[in-house]
Amino acid sequence: MKNQIRIRNYSIKLLALSSFLFIVSCDDFVAVDRPNSQLTTDAVFENATTATAAMVDVYAQMRENGLLTGKSFGISCLLGTYADELVSYENGAYTTADFYNNSLLASDAFVSLLWNSSYNQIYAANAIFEGVGNSASLAPSDKNQLQGEALFARAITHFYLVNLFGDVPYVSTTDYVYNRTVPRMAIEVVYKNIISDLETAITLLPSDYSKADRTRPNKATAQALLARVYLYHGDFAEAANMASAVLNDTSLYIWDGNLDSVFLKESTSTIWQLASGSEGANTDEGSAFIFFSGPPELVALSDNFVSQFETNDLRKSHWIKTVTEGGGLWYHPYKYKQDIASGSSLEYSIIFRLAEQYLIRSEARARQGDMIGAKEDLNKIRHTAGLPNTDATTQTTLLEAILQERKVELFTEYGHRFFDLKRFGKLDAVLGTKPGWNATDQLWPLPQSELLVNPFLKPQNTGY
Write the DSSP string, 296-338: -SSEEE-HHHHTTSPTT-HHHHHSEEEEEETTEEEEEE-SS--
pTM of the complete model: 0.92
Given a cut of 90, whether residue 39 has pLDDT beyond it is no
Find the angle CA(416)-CA(422)-CA(427) to the nearest 5 degrees: 110
What distance in Å separates the CA atoms of residue 348 and residue 342, rounded to the nearest whole number? 12
Given a cut of 90, whether residue 234 has pLDDT beyond it is yes
| Mean pLDDT, residues 124-143 taken together | 97
Given a cut of 80, whether residue 89 has pLDDT beyond it is yes
Backbone phi and psi for residue 325, each to the nearest 5 degrees, phi listed first:
-165, 125
64 occurs within a structural domain: yes
| Mean pLDDT, residues 114-143 taken together | 97
CATH number assigned to the domain comprising residue 198: 1.25.40.390
Q: Contact 370/351 with Cβ under 8 angstroms?
A: no
Tens-place pLDDT, residues 172-220: 999 988 888 899 999 999 999 999 999 999 999 999 999 999 999 999 9
325 occurs within a structural domain: no
Q: What is the structure's pLDDT at 116?
A: 96
Confidence of residue 23 (pLDDT cuts 50, 70, 90): very low
404 occurs within a structural domain: yes
317 occurs within a structural domain: no
Q: Contact 227/243 with Cβ under 8 angstroms?
A: yes
151 occurs within a structural domain: yes
Confidence of residue 7 (pLDDT cuts 50, 70, 90): very low
Looking at beta carbons, which pairs linking 384-389 to residues 24 or more positions away fall under 8 Å?
384/255, 384/257, 384/259, 384/314, 385/259, 385/313, 385/314, 385/315, 385/409, 386/312, 386/313, 386/314, 387/310, 387/312, 387/313
330 occurs within a structural domain: no
Percent of the chain residues past pLDDT 90, beyond the cut:
88
Range of the domain at 44: 2-279+347-442
304 occurs within a structural domain: no
Measured from the Cβ of residue 200, the count of other Cβ atoms closer than 10 Å reads: 16
Tens-place pLDDT, residues 285-318: 999 999 999 999 999 999 999 999 999 999 999 9
> Mean pLDDT across the chain, nearest whole number?
92
Measured from the Cβ of residue 321, the count of other Cβ atoms closer than 10 Å reads: 17
Rounded alpha-carbon distances, angstroms, from residue 406 to 137, 358, 459? 46, 10, 34
Given a cut of 50, whether residue 25 has pLDDT beyond it is no
Question: Does 177 or 438 have the greater pLDDT score?
Answer: 438
**Which residues pair with residue 322 across a beta bridge?**
331
Q: Contact 464/191 with Cβ under 8 angstroms?
A: no
Looking at beta carbons, which pairs linking 119-122 to residues 24 or more positions away fall under 8 Å?
119/28, 119/29, 119/30, 119/169, 119/171, 120/23, 120/29, 120/35, 120/61, 121/58, 121/61, 121/62, 121/66, 121/153, 121/157, 122/29, 122/153, 122/154, 122/157, 122/158, 122/171
Backbone phi and psi for residue 320, each to the nearest 5 degrees, phi listed first:
-135, 135
450 occurs within a structural domain: no
What distance in Å separates the CA atoms of residue 275 and residue 56, rounded to the nearest whole number? 10
Q: What is the structure's pLDDT at 94?
A: 85
Given a cut of 70, whether residue 278 has pLDDT beyond it is yes
Given a cut of 80, whether residue 322 has pLDDT beyond it is yes
Given a cut of 90, whether residue 40 has pLDDT beyond it is no
Count up the domains in the chain and report the number.
1
Rounded alpha-carbon distances, angstroms, from residue 58 to 1, 175, 275, 347? 34, 19, 12, 20
Given a cut of 60, whether residue 38 has pLDDT beyond it is no
Q: Contact 38/251 with Cβ under 8 angstroms?
A: no
